[in-house]
């Protein structure tokens, strides 16, 4: 494909089942603190920094990362998308999630490549990572 060159990710988000719009909006806005603009049931923002990493992550590898096995457990909704958001303090963010009743699949784990991560399934079925990724930060 010589003529096509992707410059950046212009948009990313979840496609949310109608009955989950309120829970999902609360998770991203009320829990994670992302300020959205509302146009009916469509919520969006243009005020987050750009995507630093985009990948197609095989489910077996995601399962290995979360559960230590290449098989996704049947009692956890199987994600169809993933997103990671760097946060100021992964430990504090994890405490807030647990205090609000969210089940963390991985909590405050330091990966061999230096990233610290907490993972959970969001109400819309995304595999969510709250991370500290040192090489992507400007501090």
Instruction: Say which DSSP state 134 is in.
Output: G
Distances (CA, A) of 61 to 30, 42, 65, 104: 30, 32, 6, 17
Domain ranges across the chain: 6-136
- Residue 44 pLDDT: 87
- Residue 31 pLDDT: 92
pLDDT beneath 50, residues of the chain: 1
- Residue 127 pLDDT: 94
Instruction: Say which DSSP state 29 is in.
Output: I
pTM: 0.80
- Residue 48 pLDDT: 84
The architecture (CATH level 2) of 6-136 comes to Roll (3.10)
- Residue 6 pLDDT: 61
20: which 2 tokens?
A: 């989950």
78: which 2 tokens?
A: 């199987």
- 85 touches 130 (CB < 8 A): yes
CA 101 vs. chain centroid, Å, equals 17
- Residue 65 pLDDT: 93
- Looking at the DSSP bridge assignments, the partners of residue 120 are 104, 128
**Nearest-CA neighbor of 90 among 135, 132, 31?**
132
């Amino acid at each position: 494909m010589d003529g096509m060159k992707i410059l950046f990710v212009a948009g990313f988000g979840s496609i949310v089942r109608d009955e989950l719009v309120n829970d999902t909006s609360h998770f991203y806005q009320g829990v994670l603190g992302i300020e959205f603009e509302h146009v009916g049931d469509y919520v969006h923002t243009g005020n987050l920094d750009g995507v630093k990493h985009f990948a197609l992550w095989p489910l077996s590898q995601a399962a290995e990362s979360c559960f230590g096995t290449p098989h996704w457990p049947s009692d956890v909704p199987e994600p169809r998308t993933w997103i990671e958001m760097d946060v100021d303090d992964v430990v504090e963010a994890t405490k807030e999630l647990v205090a609000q009743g969210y089940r963390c699949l991985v909590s405050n784990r330091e990966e061999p490549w230096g990233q610290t991560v907490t993972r959970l399934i969001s109400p819309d079925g995304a595999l969510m990572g709250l991370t500290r990724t040192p090489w992507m930060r400007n501090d």
